[in-house]
Structure 1
Amino acid sequence: MEYILLLLSFILIISGLIGSLLPVLPGPSLSWIGLLVLYFTKGIEMNYWILGIALILTILITILDFVIPAQGTKRFGGSKYGVWGTNIGLIIGILFPIPFGFILGPFVGAFIGELIYKRDDSKRALKAATGSFIGFLASTFMKFVVCMAFLGFYIKEVIVNWNIWF
């Protein structure tokens, strides 16, 4: 049973790491669940501090994942249309098989949204789309760093408890 929990935990953490780069999967949430499953294995004492801090971090990163691209659009002069365009572009970018569609989607969506808002101001629309893109990259980077930290905790616990299982 311990090997199944170890494998499931590893799969969840790796899926979370992949999900931190691909917006289809909830990366930090999957990685946190992977940590939780790890602490159910025999030999590892439940560490509520690590799990609690990791949960708070996961919730915070998940909220920021929605806020940062929209704020990037606003900071660069975008309107609500650009914010909505960012979110719609992200969803469409995920669904289309275009390489890097999930990266280009928010940019194109914000640009089109701003053009719908003010058709004659393409310079402002491009600036808002750039803000959306920068916000998306910052959000993705934060998720990746958190998921890598969770992977680090997993590896540390497995190395420390290696003799118990093998």
Structure 2
Amino acid sequence: MDLLLILLGFICMIIGILGSFLPILPGLSSCWIGLLLLYLAKAVENNYWILSITFIIMIFVTILDYIIPAKGTKRFGGSSYGIWGTNIGLIVGILAPIPLGVIIGPFAGAFIGEIIYDSKNHKRALKAATGSLIGFLASSFINFLLCVIYLGIFINIIWQNRELLF
């Protein structure tokens, strides 16, 4: 049973790393579930500190995933229309069955929001939309980095308990 839990945990880790770039798959939350499955193995002693800290980080970063693109829009000179457009575009991009919808949605939303705000200033709208894209890319990088750290924790725990597990 322990080997099954470890295998499922490792699969969750791989899905999490892929999910940090592919918005269809869960990212950091999948990695955290992989850690949880590892700690459910009887051969691995529970460490509630690691589970708690990684859980809090996962919740915090998941919330930031929705905030960072909007902050990128604002940082690049976007108005409240652009920020609202980014948020609406992110939701539409997640729900829309189009490839790269989660990237295109916030970009298009910020652009459309800025065009609604000032229909004559296309350059400003494009700059705000670019800020949204940069915010999304920064968020993806943070997710990827943390997923790799969670994978490192996973491998370290397996390495420390290799005699008990195998």
TM-score (normalizing by structure 2): 0.89
Report the Cα offset of residue 150 of structure 1.
0.5
Letter of the 1:57 partner, please give it.
I
CA distance in 1, matches of 2:42, 2:12: 18
CA deviation map 1:75-123 (0-9, x unaligned): 112123212322333344453444x443333222211221122211111
Q: Which residue of 1 aligns with 2:10?
A: 10
Q: Which residue of 1 aligns with 2:165?
A: 165
Q: Which residue of 2 aligns with 1:29?
A: 29
CA distance in 2, matches of 1:107, 1:159: 43
Report the RMSD for the aligned CA atoms in angstroms. 1.7
Give the conservation status (yes or no) of the 8 Å contact 1:22–1:102: no
Q: Which residue of 2 aligns with 1:128?
A: 128
TM-score (normalizing by structure 1): 0.89
Report the Cα offset of residue 138 of structure 1.
0.8
Q: Which residue of 2 aligns with 1:143?
A: 143
Letter of the 1:35 partner, please give it.
L
CA distance in 1, matches of 2:58, 2:21: 15
Identity %: 59
1:48 equivalent in alignment to 2:68: no
SS in 1 for 2:70: helix
In structure 2, list runs of 5 or more residues that go unmatched.
Answer: none
CA distance in 2, matches of 1:26, 1:4: 21
